[in-house]
Amino acid sequence: MAESEPIEASGQTIENVQGSIVRLQQSTVRHLHAEQAQLVQSAAGRVDADWVEVQQGAVQVIEAGTVRTRGGIALGIRADTVAAEQIGALALRAEDLTLADSTAAVMIGQNVRAGSINTVVFVGQQVEGQVNTVLDSRSAALLGLVIGAVLGSLSLLRELLGHARR
């Protein structure tokens, strides 16, 4: 069976693209589905691929087997393996997570190798390197309990005051 030709785009705006190998340069795409995807100075809404490489790009959501990225931002990345340098992300989740000089609001990883990472919430099994966090897993659980207790108390108080007015 013959392999399909790579799909390449430069300086284009594309609604949807699907292919075995997709390479975008200075382009935007709403949804990209591929076995291999490479985005260079490009933006994407959603990327679903086995292997993704992003260089100085912006992506809303990536779901992939392997993600490699250098420079850029992402709202969410979920993958088996993530290797990233100088990125900002709202949420990262991976079995194997290697990050350097990056920031993530929420970071979850089984095996984490870090070089100067800043995060708000971090949950990791095995961690090597420097991760600066506002909340680790214990603090996040404690915060959840406190918020739950406060909301429960407010609900109970509202219920009691409602009965007193009747």
pLDDT tens series, the chain, 166 aa: 445 789 999 999 999 999 999 999 999 999 999 999 999 999 999 999 999 999 999 999 999 999 999 999 999 999 999 999 999 999 999 999 999 999 999 899 999 999 889 998 888 889 998 888 876 667 777 777 888 888 888 888 888 877 666 5
pTM of the model: 0.79
What pLDDT shows up at residue 165? 60
> Would you list the domain boundaries of the chain?
7-135, 138-166
What pLDDT shows up at residue 1? 41
In the sheet where 7-10 sits, what is the strand order? 7-10, 13-25, 28-40, 43-135
**Burial of residue 77, with CB atoms counted within 10 A of its CB: 0-12 exposed, 13-18 middle, 19 or more buried:** buried
What pLDDT shows up at residue 2? 45
Type of residue at 102: S
- Residue 64: count other Cβ atoms within 10 Å of its Cβ: 23
Residue appearing with tokens 């992939």: 64
Q: Are 117 and 103 in contact (CB under 8 A)?
A: yes
